[in-house]
Chain A
Amino acid sequence: MEGYPEGYEEEIDLVEEIDLLTNNDDYAGVDEDLDEDDQMQLLILQQQYAQEIPEVVKNFIIYFHRNILENNVYELHGIYENSFNRLTEKFYAKTPWPEADYIAPLVNDDQVFLTLYRELYYRHIYSKLTPTIEHRFHSYENYCDLFNFILNSEGPVSLELPNQWLWDIIDEFIYQFQSFCNYRSRLKNKTEEEIALLRDNIQVWSCYSVLNVLYSLITKSRITEQLLVSKHGGDMIEAAGEYGSRTLYKMLGYFSIIGLLRVHCLLGDYTLALKMMDNIELSKKALFARVTACHVTTYYYVGFAYMMMRRYADAIKAFSHILVFIARTKMYHTRSYQFDQINKKGDQMYALLTICIALCPTRLDENIHPHLREKYGEHLIKMQRGEEGLQTFEDLFLYACPKFISPNGPNFEDPNALTQTIEPHHHHAKIFLSEVRHQILIPTLRSYLKLYTTMGIDKLSAFLDIDAETLRTQLLIVKQKSRQQKWTSGTLLEGEYVTTSDLDFCLKQDMIHIAESKVGRRYGDWFLRHINKFQDIIAGMDLRN
Chain B
Amino acid sequence: MSNNKSLLTPSPLNPTFRPDVIQSLIDGVDRYNPDNVSILEEYLSTQLQNEEYDLMANLAILKLYQFNPHLVNDVVISNILVKALTAIPNPDFNLCLYLLQEGSLSDDNVSKLILLQQLLEEARYQEFWEVYEKDDTYKDLSMEAVGFDTAIRKVILTAICMAYQTISVDLLRTYLNYPKGDTKFETFIQSQGLTTKDDVIIINTNYDNEAKPTVIRENIKFEQLTKVIGYSNEL
Interface residues of A (CB under 8 A from B): 207-208, 211, 215, 267-272, 308-310, 406-408, 422-424, 426-428, 430-432, 434-435, 438, 469, 472-477, 479-480, 483, 485, 493-499, 504-509, 513-525, 528, 531-532, 535
Interface-centre pick from A310, A494, A504, A522 (highest chain B CB count, 10 A): A504
What is the bound-complex CA distance between A493 and B220, given in angstroms?
A: 27
Convert B54-96 into 0s and 1s, putting 1 for each residue whose CB lies closer than 8 angstroms to a CB of A. Answer: 0110010001001101000000000000000000011100110
Asked if A517 and B69 sit within 8 Å, CB to CB, the answer is: no
Our pick among B103, B121, B166, B227 for the contact of A508 (Cβ within 8 Å) is B166
Of the candidates A310, A506, A509, the one having the most CB atoms from chain B within 10 angstroms of its own CB is: A506
A-B contact pairs, 7 of them (CB 8 A): A211-B32, A438-B118, A483-B208, A496-B9, A514-B211, A518-B214, A528-B224
Inter-subunit contact B67/A207 (CB<8 Å): yes
Q: A77 CA to B212 CA in the complex, in Å?
A: 58
Q: How far is the CB of A448 from chain B (nearest CB, A)?
A: 16
Question: Distance (Å) between the CB of A527 and the closest chain B CB?
Answer: 9
Bound-state CA distance A535–B114 (Å) is 59
Q: Could you say which residues of chain A place their CB within 8 Å of the CB of B63?
A: 269, 272
Give the CA-CA distance A479 to B10 in the complex, in Å. Answer: 16
With A431-B94, A517-B214: A506-B105 Cβ-Cβ less than 8 Å:
no
Instruction: Place the interface of chain B in its size category.
Output: 35 or more
Q: Which residue of B lies closest to A509 (CB)?
A: B166
B22-67, CB < 8 A from A: 29, 32, 55-56, 59, 63, 66-67
Q: Take A271-B59, A518-B215 as given contacts and tell me if A507 and B165 are in contact as well, using a CB distance cutoff of 8 Å.
A: yes
Q: Distance in Å from the Cβ of A193 to the closest Cβ of chain B?
A: 26
Residues of A within 8 A of B122 (CB): 438, 473, 477
Contact A506 B164 (CB under 8 A): yes
Contact indicator B13/A507 (Cβ below 8 Å): no
Contacts of B210 in A (CB 8 A): 504, 506
In the complex, the chain A residue whose C-beta lies closest to that of B227 is A532
Q: How far, in whole Å, are A485 and B120 apart by their CA atoms in the complex?
A: 19
Q: B72 CB to closest chain A CB, in angstroms? A: 11
CB–CB B102/A507 < 8 A? no
On chain B, the residues within 8 Å of A428 by CB distance are 98
Given contacts A309-B91, A473-B124, A497-B9, contact A269 B164 (CB under 8 A): no
In-complex Cβ contact of A271 among B56, B114, B118, B225 (8 A): B56
A207 to B34, CA, bound (A): 13
Report the minimum CB–CB distance from B209 to chain A (whole Å): 5
Complex contacts, A519 vs chain B, CB 8 Å: 215-216
Alpha-carbon gap, A535 to B90, bound state (A): 48
A272 to B112, CA, bound (A): 27
Binding site for A on B (CB under 8 A): 5-6, 8-10, 13, 29, 32, 55-56, 59, 63, 66-67, 69, 89-91, 94-95, 97-99, 101-103, 105, 114, 118, 121-124, 126, 159-160, 162-168, 200, 207-218, 220, 224-225, 227-228, 231
Q: Bound complex: CA of A522 vs CA of B220, how far in Å?
A: 9
B164 partner, pick from A268, A477, A508, beta carbons under 8 A:
A508
- Say yes or no: A505 contacts B211, CB within 8 Å: yes
Q: How far is the CA of A498 from the CA of B9 in the complex (A)?
A: 10
Known: A271-B56, A504-B211. 15 other contacts (CB 8 A): A270-B95, A308-B95, A430-B105, A434-B94, A435-B91, A473-B124, A479-B159, A504-B212, A505-B211, A507-B163, A507-B209, A509-B166, A518-B213, A521-B218, A528-B224
Q: A438-B118, A505-B211 are in contact. Are A477 and B123 (CB under 8 A)?
A: yes
A211 to B67 CA separation, bound complex (whole angstroms): 11
Taken together as a complex, chains A and B put the C-alpha atoms of A499 and B32 apart, in Å, by 37
Q: How far is the CB of B208 from chain A (nearest CB, A)?
A: 7
Contact assessment for A528 and B95 in the assembled complex, using a CB-CB cutoff below 8 Å: no
Interfacial chain A residues near B5, Cβ < 8 Å: 496-497
* Min CB–CB distance A214 → chain B (angstroms): 10
Q: State A229–B157 Cα separation when bound (angstroms).
A: 45
**Contact A479 B162, beta carbon cutoff 8 Å:** yes
Chain A residues with CB under 8 Å of B215's CB are 517-520
Q: Are A431 and B98 in contact (CB under 8 A)?
A: yes
Partner of A435, one of B94, B160, B212, B225: B94
- Do residues B69 and A268 form an inter-chain contact, with CB atoms below 8 A? no
In-complex Cβ contact of B218 among A271, A485, A525, A532 (8 A): A525
A524–B10 CA distance with the chains assembled, in angstroms: 34
Is the CB–CB distance between A480 and B159 below 8 Å? yes
Q: In whole angstroms, how far apart are the Cα atoms of A474 and B163 in the complex?
A: 11
With both beta carbons as reference points, the residue of chain A lying nearest to B205 in the complex is identified as: A506
**Residues of A with C-beta under 8 A to B123:** 472-474, 476-477, 480
Determine whether the beta carbon of A535 is less than 8 Å from that of B163: no
Q: How far is the CA of A476 from the CA of B13 in the complex (A)?
A: 27
Chain B: which residue is nearest A311 at the CB level? B91
Which B residues lie within 8 Å of A208 (CB)?
Answer: 32, 67
A-B pairs, 7 with minimum CB distance: A476-B123, A497-B6, A268-B98, A506-B211, A497-B8, A524-B220, A515-B213
For A423, what are the chain B residues with a Cβ–Cβ distance below 8 Å? 102
Q: What residues of B have a CB within 8 angstroms of the CB of A430 in the complex?
A: 105
Q: Which residues of A contact B6 (CB under 8 A)?
A: 483, 496-499
- Most chain B CB within a 10 A radius of its CB, from A208, A428, A430, A485: A485
A504: which B residues are within 8 A, CB to CB?
A: 210-212
User: With A and B bound together, what is the CA distance between A520 and B69 in angstroms?
Assistant: 55
Contacts of A508 in B (CB 8 A): 164-166
Q: Is the CB of B67 within 8 A of A269?
A: no
Residues of A within 8 Å of B164, CB to CB, are: 506-509
B168 near A509 (CB under 8 angstroms)?
yes
Report yes or no: B10 in contact with A528, Cβ–Cβ below 8 A: no
A497 and B231: CB pair below 8 A? no
Q: Answer whether A528 and B66 are a contact pair too, CB < 8 Å, given A422-B102, A424-B102, A522-B218.
A: no
